[in-house]
Amino acid sequence: MRIATWNVNSVGARLPRLLSWLSSAEPDVLCLQELKCTTEAFPHDEVGELGYEVAAYGLGRWNGVAILSRAGIGEVTRGLVGEPTYEDATESRAIGATCGGVRVWSVYVPNGREPEHAHYGYKLRWLDALRATAEAELTADRPFAVLGDFNIAPADEDVWDISVFENSTHVTEPERKALAMLRESGLSDVLPRALKYDRPYTYWDYRQLAFPKNRGMRIDLVYGNPSFAGAVEDAYVDREERKGKGGSDHAPVVVDLTP
């Protein structure tokens, strides 16, 4: 079973590349983030022609998440347990579904903007809600994973130059502590384990030739429970999809599970 995650940075702008990638990579389940569209505006028909059912959650111009599956889709849940609001609004940042016996969540963790910004506090509260949701899900005996754009680099080696990120979000101690608490709930970061010594970046800024210079970050993560992590036989970051004009600033992350 092939499960993937990808921040497409606008499903409308990226639709031709999304359809092409689905046809070539053939994931059984794909978690998408940053749709930038409403649930109704998601391209259900175009994706459906490739054999995928869709559970989408989008409220407008920003945010938005979805799960695409050709292994069946059910038990759809939109939003987290005790999810906080930002500026009195609940954002579309998390959706869960069961696909082929595997429970997955597609998440788009708030950016945080700056450590002094109100959005940073919202990010930490949102991560608390994500942990509470994961803990509730972990009571079921089945493979379970949270996939998506976490907007956090778990370790210094997950950014191209840690000195550049001094006093910036994505690498602060409270953010990393929130990730550690998520792991302590019973999840593990499966990609480094699957890739052994390689920790490839998943995001490169559009500016200053960041991708050609490989000035990136590993912020698109796959966290799984023991039954999920134990079934991982291979994984990769599809750097090729980041290349060329019209691509997202994130690359897809792909995990293969044993049958």
- pLDDT tens digits, one per residue of 112-149: 999 999 999 999 999 999 999 999 999 999 999 999 99
Q: 161-210: per-residue pLDDT in tens?
A: 999 998 899 999 999 999 999 999 999 999 887 776 677 999 999 999 99
Q: How distant is the alpha carbon of residue 179 from its chain centre?
A: 14
Model pLDDT for residues 25-56, shown as the tens digit of each residue: 999 999 999 999 999 999 999 999 999 999 99
φ/ψ of 225, rounded to 5, equals -75, 175
pLDDT score at 199? 78
Instruction: Give the total number of structural domains in the chain.
Output: 1
Query: For residue 89, is pLDDT > 80?
Result: yes
| Residue 215 identity (one-letter amino acid) | R
Q: Residue 229 above 70 pLDDT?
A: yes
AA letter at 160: W
Q: Tokens representing 155?
A: 């370790």
CATH number, domain with residue 253: 3.60.10.10
Question: CA torsion, points 156, 162, 167, 171, in degrees to nearest 10?
Answer: -30
pLDDT digit string, tens, across residues 100-110: 999 999 999 99
Q: Is 178 helix (H, G, I), strand (E, B) or coil?
A: helix
Tokens encoding 153: 């680099």
Residue type, 177: K
Residues in the chain: 259
Q: How many CB atoms lie within 10 A of CB 209?
A: 11
Angle value at C-alpha 65, between 41 and 216, nearest 5 degrees: 120
Q: Which residues pair with 204 in a beta bridge?
A: 216
What pLDDT is attached to residue 167?
85
Residue 229 identity: A
Q: How far is CA 185 from the centre of its chain?
A: 18
Is 80 exposed, middle or buried (CB count within 10 Å of its CB: 0-12, 13-18, 19+)? Answer: buried
Confidence of residue 71 (pLDDT cuts 50, 70, 90): very high
β-partners of residue 16 are none
Q: Which domain holds residue 21?
A: 2-257
Backbone angles phi, psi at 26, to 5 degrees: 50, 55
Q: What is the pTM of this model?
A: 0.96
Q: Which residues lie closer than 8 Å to 122 by C-beta, 6 or more apart?
A: 84, 86, 110, 112
Instruction: For residue 256, count other CB atoms closer than 10 A to its CB.
Output: 17
Q: DSSP character for 195? A: H
Q: What is the pLDDT of residue 197?
A: 63
> How confident is residue 14, by pLDDT bands cut at 50, 70 and 90?
very high
pLDDT higher than 80, residue 111: yes
Mean pLDDT of the chain: 95
Confidence of residue 3 (pLDDT cuts 50, 70, 90): very high
Residue that is written with structure tokens 């450590």 in the block? 115
Residue 245 pLDDT: 87
Residue 196's pLDDT is what?
Answer: 66
What lies within 8 Å, CB to CB, of 193 at 6+ separation is 229, 232
User: What's the whole-number mean pLDDT along residues 18-23?
Assistant: 98
Q: What is the pLDDT of residue 259?
A: 78
